[in-house]
Amino acid sequence: SQQGEEDPQALSIQEGENATMNCSYKTSINNLQWYRQNSGRGLVHLILIRSNEREKHSGRLRVTLDTSKKSSSLLITASRAADTASYFCATDGANSGYALNFGKGTSLLVTP
Amino acid sequence: NAGVTQTPKFQVLKTGQSMTLQCAQDMNHEYMSWYRQDPGMGLRLIHYSVGAGITDQGEVPNGYNVSRSTTEDFPLRLLSAAPSQTSVYFCASSPRRGGYEQYFGPGTRLTVT
């Protein structure tokens, strides 16, 4: 069954603003990953955070992980129109046989 | 490197027909997997393989078969297509299972009428 649940389902912002997406999951995990999917394309890996890490940065991306609350957030700073895409969190752990479980995604629209 | 390739890009089948979706990777990855993506549902795991000769079921395996005779190839077979299998199918690979980023193919859009 799907482990992650992203919130909000859809987000619309203007260029230059920050975008925050949240992910909650149900069972203990080893790792949590965020992926981006442009319309009609495959998924592209953004960042992986391990269960013993609390925060990770990659360029304009900042991911936090709170294992006590079973939640993660993805912050995109200074958004650009090219950031328009769907964003998915995915978790893996012993409960899933270490296979990735994806959430349903957040659809982000960045308008010029 | 070509990465993960999938063929065909689009396919229309009639109910009851069978077909094979091809997936290949040239990164020498041990782990390969198949997902289906339906509107509003995210990605659901169909089957996966941790190496040549080893496959296992994911969340939604019914109606699909897989085999892994080589490290590079991981075909997905639809035995008798049903309208419920209309979806976009993605193949992915990673060096190992768990704790590694997955590399996705461009997808196959399948319609079953």
Q: Is the dihedral of CA B35, B91, B64, B70 positive or negative?
A: negative
pLDDT per residue, tens digit, chain A (112 aa), is 556 788 899 999 999 999 999 999 998 899 999 999 999 899 999 999 999 999 999 999 999 999 999 999 999 999 999 999 999 999 987 766 678 889 999 999 999 9
The C-alpha of B15 sits at a distance from chain A's nearest C-alpha, in angstroms, of 25
To test the contact with chain A by mutation, choose from B9, B43, B45, B91 the residue with the greatest count of A C-beta atoms within 10 A, namely B43
The C-alpha of A96 sits at a distance from chain B's nearest C-alpha, in angstroms, of 9
Closest-CA residue of chain B to A5: B42
Q: Is residue B101 scored above 90 in pLDDT?
A: yes
B39 contacts B105 by C-beta, under 8 angstroms: no
- Residue B16's region, left for phi above 0, alpha for psi from -120 to 50, else beta, is left
Chain B residues interacting with chain A (CB cutoff of 8 angstroms): 4, 33, 35, 40-45, 48, 56, 58-59, 90, 92, 97-107
Within 8 A of A50 by CB-CB distance, chain B residues are: 99
| A58-66 long-range contacts, CB within 8 A, separation 24+ | A61/A34, A63/A32, A63/A34, A65/A32
Q: How confident is the model at residue B27 (pLDDT cuts 50, 70, 90)?
A: very high
The C-alpha of B17 sits at a distance from chain A's nearest C-alpha, in angstroms, of 25
Query: Quick one: pLDDT at residue A77?
Result: 98
Query: Quick one: pLDDT at residue B99?
Result: 86
Query: Quick one: pLDDT at residue A97?
Result: 67
Query: Quick one: pLDDT at residue B42?
Result: 84
Residue B42: in which H helix or E strand, if any? strand B42-51
Within 8 A of A100 by CB-CB distance, chain B residues are: 33, 45, 102
Alpha-carbon Rg for chain A in angstroms? 13
Looking at the DSSP bridge assignments, the partners of residue B33 are B48, B92
Query: Nearest CA to B113 among B82, B68, B74, B72?
Result: B82
| A59-63 long-range contacts, CB within 8 A, separation 24+ | A61/A34, A63/A32, A63/A34
DSSP structure class, residue A39: T
Tell me whether residues B101 and A42 touch, CB distance under 8 A: no
Query: Nearest CA to B110 among B5, B2, B18, B4?
Result: B18
